[in-house]
Amino acid sequence: MLFSIITSLWLTTMGLAGCQSQSQQITAGYKSVFPYTLKADESHSMPKELKEISGITFVEGQSNILYAIQDEEGVLFSYDLRKKQVIATNAFAKKGDYEEITTDNHYFYVLKSNGDIYSFPIGSSSYATEVIINKSLVPTAEYESMAFDPSSGNLFLLCKVCKVDKKGQHVSGYILQIGNQGKLTYKGNFNLSIDALTALDQRIKKTFKPSAMARHTASNEWYILSSIDQSLVITDDTFRPKEIVRLPRKDFEQPEGLAFDAEGNLYISSEAGTQKHGMVYKYNRIR
């Protein structure tokens, strides 16, 4: 009788230990929220004028046209994804370091590395004459990331290199309100915790330098590229990090552009760097 009780207790204890071990393994295994497989469904080799492609975006209702900029010329490029070629170029400013482009489907907004933002109407007959240069809205620093948020109707920017972030505890961000004719005004600020990133990936510490960002409207998440880390950071709508995805280094020489089409498919562009061509990769949404 005593042997039977001891045996029963031993089996129960081992069963609980086994369940606990299995539970710990499940908990330790990261449950991905990333709805893509990083094996490109399409790849586009950019023409020589987009070797230094630095930003990409889509206009609603034009899923086959990718709008792009490069970081040496103030030119808007219209790239046809079906024809695999540039079908239009429109100058909007003089030569300069242009790093990001986004749109609210009424205006394009192009971010210069010093924080100036050029806004001009979509479908304009003369981009250069209708452009507004929004200056001195954010602290003097280096910027490469900007995105339109449909839920709030505002623009969001992240610092790449800012003096206020020298301690390495967070990355500063700024919110701009869109007014008449694409004119912008300062609305507020936010930040992204470096400690929260490090908790997800120990390799990311003070290296994190945002190079592009986009709003995933289906999930209300922010997607943020860090070219130097070869990583894609996914956060919730308040910029709390949820996941870090490492990009295939063989594909991405210098990832600098990020966008979603109307179906939620992901596009990432990469400057040529030491390669012959800049590239754009498409990843179909799988869930």
Count CB atoms within 10 A of the CB of residue 115.
21
Whether pLDDT at 92 is above 70: yes
Question: What are the tokens at 223?
Answer: 């997607």
- Assign residue 136 a region (left: φ > 0; alpha: ψ between -120 and 50; beta: otherwise): left
Question: What are the tokens at 164?
Answer: 């206020």
Whole-number Å distance between alpha carbons of 143 and 145:
6
Whether pLDDT at 69 is above 90: yes
Whether pLDDT at 7 is above 80: no
The residue-averaged pLDDT of 182-196 equals 96
The whole-chain average pLDDT of the chain stands at 87
pLDDT band at 249 (very low <50, low <70, confident <90, very high): confident
The residue-averaged pLDDT of 147-156 equals 97
For the chain, list the domains and their CATH numbers. 36-283 (2.120.10.30)
Whether pLDDT at 207 is above 90: no
Look up residue 218 and give its DSSP letter.
T
pLDDT band at 274 (very low <50, low <70, confident <90, very high): confident
The residue-averaged pLDDT of 144-162 equals 96
Whether pLDDT at 16 is above 60: no
pLDDT at 20: 36
pLDDT band at 8 (very low <50, low <70, confident <90, very high): very low
Whether pLDDT at 10 is above 50: no
pLDDT at 118: 97
Whether pLDDT at 2 is above 50: no
- The gap from C-alpha 278 to its chain's centroid, in whole angstroms, comes to 17
pLDDT at 123: 87
Question: What are the tokens at 259?
Answer: 């966008």
Is 118 within 8 Å of 129 (Cβ atoms)? no
Select the more confidently predicted residue: 16 or 282.
282
pLDDT band at 163 (very low <50, low <70, confident <90, very high): confident
Select the more confidently predicted residue: 163 or 281.
281
Residue 111: closest CA among 165, 150, 158: 158
Question: What are the tokens at 147?
Answer: 């995105």
Whole-number Å distance between alpha carbons of 154 and 171:
19
Is 69 within 8 Å of 54 (Cβ atoms)? yes
pLDDT at 11: 41
Which range (6-10, 18-22, 183-187, 267-271) has the least confidence? 18-22
Is 165 within 8 Å of 174 (Cβ atoms)? no
Whether pLDDT at 246 is above 70: yes
pLDDT at 248: 85
The residue-averaged pLDDT of 92-112 equals 97
pLDDT at 38: 85
Whole-number Å distance between alpha carbons of 73 and 71:
6
